[in-house]
Structure 1
């Protein structure tokens, strides 16, 4: 994913029926011709490997076919188009998430959901390039949604509030993950870690910086720099924001409990 790149694709952009049949492994009838060489899972894995390496913009039916060692046209007998393939890839990746929790408190369970989603984005950065306002309605997405709702079921929220809390946490993780992925790409493409970059930028900034003009930034920046080795740490920022988000949900739960 390019640093700052906007979404390059979207889910549910193909034929809804064919996409759903593909994700749910619905076989409409006997396939013509010889016995299939590949399973749908194998095709999904090949496509995901390409996207992991080069981004979803580099994905094409031709590249997936080449990776599998077949002609591009033969791939269309399995998957109608790239649009349905993207839905299949998304639902496959959602299946990597562990749909079970062992924490006793809803707060710890919801935090675990957020961290699992965070790790999934870091494993598959191309997920951040796919807009999912129309979600791929596959079995793993449904299982993911059901589990994420279950971790806050029975804590005093209405059904609508439960849906909104799950959406809020998902949106937060998505934004935080974009920052983390961008930071990784910057380091890869410049060949400098953040620490190495600051070693070069720091003296240059000090030569022109006037602390008296920016007193608050000077004080806070010095405090943050003294406490943390890296001036910018996406994981630290993610954890801080997640805790504040959970504080807000806890306040909502407490307020509803008090009114009950």
Structure 2
């Protein structure tokens, strides 16, 4: 799988595109704009995968010449940054999430999980140097507000948000791979399991692999698959929140902060 990297474009040009500080009027390509180009690029990546994304392919989707894109977008590096920033604007950011900070972090994690399911190509872009655009910044601001005022230091707040979103990034990969496997093979996980389970029972010796046989059989019967990525995501998220709750409780004893972890 090819990995792309955000932040590879020219910094001045990328930031100008991200914040639309110098959008030029179109001289060719009709009503071509940065927004139209970016949305077409996202459609290509969603439908055909990141490997298919190129300036030429985007131009074909828009029905314009490839060179007309460069009037608005300097190159693929800058385009990827604006694509990332654009899709990160899709996450819902309600102010009235029940459940205290724990409920807020749960809502954020589930929104990020759903975002990656809608745009699986996000998993193919390394964002250790994230696009510093308005949507990414607004999303980060919202996520920090989930843990603001509960007794954590600024660095701990950043670490908590990173911990939760990193869990999402790892957990959603299994869900994306399961969905893609079903699309490309024409067989669901349940169908695959039903086809393989009877043969596995014949060859798997429970005396040699007692735990694998017992636990694997229980899990397989429950999931009707080798794994359940959605259940793994929720289980891992709950355990992460349990750990954060210990940290917050420790802070409570020294600061006197009284916000409940949840509304339970």
**TM-score (norm. length: structure 1):** 0.92
Instruction: Note if contact 1:24-1:138 (Cα within 8 Å) is conserved in structure 2.
Output: yes
Instruction: Note if contact 2:29-2:64 (Cα within 8 Å) is conserved in structure 1.
Output: no
Change (3 A) 1:138 1:109: same
Equivalent residue number for residue 68 of structure 1: 62
Secondary structure of 1:211's match? Answer: coil
Cα distance in 2, alignment partners of residues 228 and 207 from structure 1: 20
Change (3 A) 1:79 1:193: same
Cα distance in 2, alignment partners of residues 204 and 163 from structure 1: 48
Does residue 176 of structure 2 align to residue 181 of structure 1? yes
Q: 1:255 aligns with which of 236, 246, 250?
A: 250
Change (3 A) 1:208 1:155: same
Equivalent residue number for residue 140 of structure 1: 135
Does residue 37 of structure 2 align to residue 43 of structure 1? yes
Cα distance in 1, alignment partners of residues 195 and 30 from structure 2: 57
Secondary structure of 1:13's match? Answer: coil
- 1:230 shift after superposition: 4.0
- Matches of residues 214-233 of structure 1 in structure 2 within 5 Å? 214-233=209-228
Q: Which runs of 4+ in 1 moved over 6 A?
A: none
Unaligned 5+ residue runs, structure 2? Answer: 256-264
Equivalent residue number for residue 77 of structure 1: 71
Instruction: Note if contact 2:28-2:68 (Cα within 8 Å) is conserved in structure 1.
Output: no
Instruction: Note if contact 2:18-2:134 (Cα within 8 Å) is conserved in structure 1.
Output: yes
Cα distance in 1, alignment partners of residues 167 and 29 from structure 2: 45
- Matches of residues 153-192 of structure 1 in structure 2 within 5 Å? 153-192=148-187
Aligned length: 254
Secondary structure of 1:212's match? Answer: coil
Does residue 19 of structure 2 align to residue 24 of structure 1? yes
Cα distance in 2, alignment partners of residues 209 and 144 from structure 1: 48
Cα distance in 2, alignment partners of residues 10 and 228 from structure 1: 35
Higher relative CO (CA 8 A, sep ≥ 6), structure 1 or 2?
1
- 1:77 shift after superposition: 0.3
- 1:135 shift after superposition: 0.5
Cα distance in 1, alignment partners of residues 75 and 214 from structure 2: 55
Secondary structure of 2:216's match? Answer: helix
What's the CA shift string for 1:232-259, capped at 9, x where partnerless? 2111111111111111111110112123
Cα distance in 2, alignment partners of residues 203 and 33 from structure 1: 65
Cα distance in 2, alignment partners of residues 103 and 56 from structure 1: 34
Q: Which moved more, 1:248-257 or 1:77-86?
A: 248-257
Cα distance in 2, alignment partners of residues 13 and 164 from structure 1: 25
Secondary structure of 2:90's match? Answer: coil
- Aligned Cα root-mean-square deviation (Å): 1.7
Secondary structure of 1:18's match? Answer: helix
- 1:100 shift after superposition: 2.6
